A and B are shown apart, each in its own frame.
Chain A
Amino acid sequence: MRRTTRIGLGAALALSISAAAAFADTIKIAFIDPLSGPFAATGEQGLAQYRFAAEELVNRKGGVLGGKMFEIVPFDNKISPKESLIQLQVAIDQGIRFIAQGNSSGVANALTDAINKHNRRNPDNRVLFLNYSAVDPALTNDKCNFWHFRFDANADIKMDALTDIIQQDESIKKVYIIGQDYSFGKAVAAAAVRFLNEKRPDIEIVGNELHPIGKVKDFTPYARKIVASGADAVITGNWGSDMLNLGRAILDNGFTGPIYTYYAAADGITAAFGEAGDGSLKLVGEGQLNPPVSARADAYVTAFKKKYPNKDIGQPRIANVIEMLARAIEKAGSDTDIVAIAKALEGMEHDALFGGKVYMRPQDHQAIQDVHVLAHTNDGITHDFDNSGYGLKVEKTVRMAGMDSPTTCRMKRP
């Protein structure tokens, strides 16, 4: 009995050592996002897309630096900034050098400060922050630092692109702005007012309203007000069930104009809108799924759906994160020299898998890319969301949106 235990223990030890040896050749990327609680669905979606991108875009091609594979290591932050800092420390202690995070700008703000401090104190053990979704403009303005790279267009750039489109639409004379009562909702409203006043002073903002976040049961009274105001278009930064319920209430109560949104897709929202949203629901964002930009992109999504039938490529930029990181590591010739990798990422131009170019602007580390206005429809959809037949189709495109947008970033370089 004792002997077998010892043999078993020995075998387990040997196995774990060989496993560690196998892992030694991987480049680990810590994925710090909510994997439990109310936002777990969003986190799980992101994790699946990262795992697939690493496998398909890097590992299958033989890895980087002559055979090193990418490995995504998930850490659950329960969308809390405090928890994220603990998970960051755990990741750093495990020797992970690359941190990917996206959900909630509150978390991103905490992480970027912590990483900046850590890198200053531990020059031999620096880490890189790959922000793929947190869109608070401050992260690439007042709070920018050398270690933070944002791959999504920030809230201001998106609004800039959206108002470019509205500018060309002469039929829009009145706009209603409504959002959740917190920092992001307020930032969207402020940007909308600013850009509309600049570009189309003739447009009347007939409503600018905030509602409690996650507390409203029935949006009907808001919808009545929007209809009563005679608005031609609605702009909202709402997400989650607030997005769905607001959108449905507006459509149910007879509004027929466009509803411009940031987050009205995937995670069940596309399926729930279904036919009702067709023709009205628009989304501003990067990445083109429909029509597919290339056979390669088409095959990528098809392969993803085969592996994860119940998930969607809701964040096409994740492919850019992985590909650009791989290129930067190759160019730096090292997976530990974070300064060299960051310098390689700065100013990088990249042909995105889902169309267009991505340019990592050196002065503030904000990715500049094509921003589309996408329409919720079932017409001409190759890759739908939520297996519903409905998906997002590119309607209009602003090439390299926000290329010359100002930044207050004063970056300190090592």
Chain B
Amino acid sequence: MELVLVNLIDGLVTGLLLFMLSAGLTLIFSMMGVLNFAHASFYMLGAYFAYQISVYMGFWMGLLIAPPLVGVLGALVERYGLRKVHQYGHVPELIFTFGLALLIEEVVQFVWGRDTMPYDIPEILRFTAFSISGYAIPAYKIFMIFTSVAIFVVLLWVLTRTRVGMIIQAALSHPQTVEALGHNVPLVFMGVFGVGTALAGVAGVIAGPVLSTFPGMAVVLGSIVFVTIVIGGLGSLWGALVASLLIGWLTTFAKAYNIRAADILTSLGLTPPANVEESIWRDIWTVTSPQIADILPYILMVLILVFRPHGLFGKRDA
């Protein structure tokens, strides 16, 4: 029973981390209709920038400086890259962001090399916050939870309660009208892209020490972020949150419990083949949930696309 609680906390951490990435991505998509393939690369840049800053000024300055740095970089990419490509339609935009992802990975390898960086949890958070019947919950996890929740609350508040938020929301659905009212819509776009990438940067800063900072870190998370926003519904912040948590818990519980396919199949009334090792169905009968935990979100995405194409909270088709 205690293990369930521990797994709930672990899943929450994974989910919230995923949310910080997908929030920016879904925001950018809803505004500009662009699927930013380079989004996870900005997450990687966040981790590397923070590592470099932490070498000289410590972890906290890294947390403070790295995300704005990534955000500015993202804004520049929008202003001098995406905006120029935008007039040619969506496909060139997709190709542009895809190329950008490859470019960022190569640049990171060029500057920092291929080794894993010794980017570590700050000294002050290196203790066990509390234990649930012997299972330690590191303080850093609690810190991660609070940071992501704070960011979600601030984001929600800005979008729904402030003038800027109202302009952004208006620009989402009626850009021409907003422009006619005298607002600088391209500037709004640039700002949203910057904030979105900065969010990815924050995720990188706080995930770098636990998921390790290496050139492959963007690739590992890249596809799952897209799955998240498709499940949540493209363009929906709430959807991104719910989908992230769903994926976090789904993968955590699948890994934590050895659910065997054989048990499920026999409970469905099927009998196992006489000699499982020789049978052509061997792979299906011997698979266990930890082995397929990381592809479960993809199965979920396929089901969502079949039965609810606009996602859990989305307003338009994926």
> In the bound complex, what is the Cα–Cα distance between A322 and B132 (angstroms)?
55
Complex interface: chain A residues within 8 A of B3 (CB)? 224, 228
Provided the pairs A224-B10, A228-B3 are in contact, do residues A209 and B116 lie with their beta carbons within 8 angstroms?
no
12 A-B residue pairs with CB within 8 Å: A181-B291, A217-B211, A218-B210, A221-B253, A221-B255, A224-B135, A224-B256, A225-B256, A241-B214, A253-B136, A254-B135, A268-B117
B68 CB within 8 Å of chain A:
no
A248 CB within 8 Å of chain B:
yes
**Structural contact, B136 and A268, CB atoms closer than 8 A:** no
> Nearest 10 CB-CB pairs, A to B?
A268-B115, A254-B136, A221-B255, A268-B116, A271-B118, A41-B114, A221-B256, A220-B10, A272-B116, A221-B252
Provided the pairs A217-B221, A253-B138 are in contact, do residues A222 and B290 lie with their beta carbons within 8 angstroms?
yes
A363 CB within 8 Å of chain B:
no
A252 CB within 8 Å of chain B:
yes
**Structural contact, A217 and B294, CB atoms closer than 8 A:** yes
Complex interface: chain A residues within 8 A of B10 (CB)? 218, 220-221, 224
What is the CB-to-nearest-CB distance from A55 to chain B, in angstroms, rounded to a whole number?
Answer: 24
Complex interface: chain A residues within 8 A of B220 (CB)? 214-215, 217
**Structural contact, A244 and B291, CB atoms closer than 8 A:** no
Provided the pairs A241-B216, A272-B118 are in contact, do residues A252 and B210 lie with their beta carbons within 8 angstroms?
yes
Q: Please provide the chain B residues from 259 to 318 with a CB less than 8 Å away from any CB of chain A in the complex.
A: 290-291, 293-294
Complex interface: chain A residues within 8 A of B6 (CB)? 224
What is the CB-to-nearest-CB distance from A18 to chain B, in angstroms, rounded to a whole number?
Answer: 36
Complex interface: chain A residues within 8 A of B258 (CB)? 209
How many residues does chain A have at the interface if contact means C-beta atoms less than 8 Å apart?
36
| Per-residue contact bits, chain B 207-240, to A (CB 8 Å; 1 contact, 0 not) | 0001110111000110010000000000000000
> In the bound complex, what is the Cα–Cα distance between A41 and B109 (angstroms)?
10
Complex interface: chain B residues within 8 A of A215 (CB)? 220, 294
B52 CB within 8 Å of chain A:
no
Q: Please provide the chain B residues from 1 to 26 with a CB less than 8 Å away from any CB of chain A in the complex.
A: 3, 6-7, 10, 13-14
**Beta-carbon nearest neighbor of B254 in chain A:** A221
**Structural contact, A218 and B14, CB atoms closer than 8 A:** yes
| Per-residue contact bits, chain B 94-137, to A (CB 8 Å; 1 contact, 0 not) | 00000000000000000001111111100000001001001110
> In the bound complex, what is the Cα–Cα distance between A323 and B303 (angstroms)?
61
Complex interface: chain A residues within 8 A of B210 (CB)? 218, 248, 252
> In the bound complex, what is the Cα–Cα distance between A80 and B221 (angstroms)?
25
In the complex, which of the residues B214, B224, B294 contacts A268, with contact meaning CB atoms closer than 8 Å?
Answer: B214
Complex interface: chain A residues within 8 A of B211 (CB)? 217-218, 245
Complex interface: chain B residues within 8 A of A38 (CB)? 114, 215-216
Complex interface: chain B residues within 8 A of A386 (CB)? 115, 118
| Per-residue contact bits, chain A 187-230, to B (CB 8 Å; 1 contact, 0 not) | 00000000000000000000001111011111011101101100
**Structural contact, A267 and B291, CB atoms closer than 8 A:** no
**Beta-carbon nearest neighbor of B256 in chain A:** A221
**Structural contact, A272 and B135, CB atoms closer than 8 A:** no
Tell me the total A-B contact number using a CB cutoff of 8 A: 103
A257 CB within 8 Å of chain B:
no
**Beta-carbon nearest neighbor of B288 in chain A:** A209
List residues of A whose CB falls within 8 A of some B CB: 38, 40-41, 181, 209-212, 214-218, 220-222, 224-225, 227-228, 241, 244-245, 248, 252-254, 267-269, 271-272, 274, 310, 386, 388
> In the bound complex, what is the Cα–Cα distance between A252 and B211 (angstroms)?
12
**Structural contact, A211 and B291, CB atoms closer than 8 A:** yes
Provided the pairs A217-B211, A221-B10, A224-B256 are in contact, do residues A267 and B128 lie with their beta carbons within 8 angstroms?
no
Complex interface: chain B residues within 8 A of A216 (CB)? 294
Q: Please provide the chain B residues from 51 to 90 with a CB less than 8 Å away from any CB of chain A in the complex.
A: none
What is the CB-to-nearest-CB distance from B223 to chain A, in angstroms, rounded to a whole number?
Answer: 10
Q: Please provide the chain B residues from 25 to 56 with a CB less than 8 Å away from any CB of chain A in the complex.
A: none
**Structural contact, A210 and B114, CB atoms closer than 8 A:** no
What is the CB-to-nearest-CB distance from B66 to chain A, in angstroms, rounded to a whole number?
Answer: 19
> In the bound complex, what is the Cα–Cα distance between A225 and B290 (angstroms)?
11
Residue with the highest number of chain A CB atoms closer than 10 Å, among B117, B220, B290: B290
Complex interface: chain A residues within 8 A of B138 (CB)? 252-253
**Structural contact, A224 and B7, CB atoms closer than 8 A:** yes
**Beta-carbon nearest neighbor of B109 in chain A:** A40
**Structural contact, B7 and A221, CB atoms closer than 8 A:** yes
What is the CB-to-nearest-CB distance from A303 to chain B, in angstroms, rounded to a whole number?
Answer: 22
**Beta-carbon nearest neighbor of B120 in chain A:** A274
**Structural contact, A244 and B212, CB atoms closer than 8 A:** yes
> In the bound complex, what is the Cα–Cα distance between A310 and B120 (angstroms)?
20
**Structural contact, B291 and A245, CB atoms closer than 8 A:** no
Complex interface: chain B residues within 8 A of A241 (CB)? 116, 212, 214, 216
**Structural contact, A41 and B115, CB atoms closer than 8 A:** yes
> In the bound complex, what is the Cα–Cα distance between A244 and B118 (angstroms)?
11
Complex interface: chain B residues within 8 A of A209 (CB)? 258, 290
**Structural contact, A268 and B118, CB atoms closer than 8 A:** yes
**Beta-carbon nearest neighbor of A266 in chain B:** B115
> In the bound complex, what is the Cα–Cα distance between A311 and B46 (angstroms)?
26
Besides the known contacts A218-B210, A218-B211, 4 further A-B residue pairs in the complex with CB atoms under 8 A apart: A212-B291, A218-B14, A244-B116, A268-B214
> In the bound complex, what is the Cα–Cα distance between A397 and B214 (angstroms)?
33
> In the bound complex, what is the Cα–Cα distance between A271 and B211 (angstroms)?
15
Complex interface: chain B residues within 8 A of A225 (CB)? 255-256
In the complex, which of the residues A220, A248, A254, A268 contacts B252, with contact meaning CB atoms closer than 8 Å?
Answer: A220
> In the bound complex, what is the Cα–Cα distance between A310 and B294 (angstroms)?
35
Provided the pairs A241-B216, A252-B138 are in contact, do residues A40 and B116 lie with their beta carbons within 8 angstroms?
no
Complex interface: chain A residues within 8 A of B214 (CB)? 241, 268
> In the bound complex, what is the Cα–Cα distance between A38 and B211 (angstroms)?
18
**Structural contact, B212 and A272, CB atoms closer than 8 A:** yes
Residue with the highest number of chain A CB atoms closer than 10 Å, among B212, B221, B224, B252: B212
Complex interface: chain A residues within 8 A of B119 (CB)? 272
In the complex, which of the residues B117, B131, B216 contacts A272, with contact meaning CB atoms closer than 8 Å?
Answer: B117
Complex interface: chain A residues within 8 A of B113 (CB)? 41, 310
> In the bound complex, what is the Cα–Cα distance between A252 and B127 (angstroms)?
9
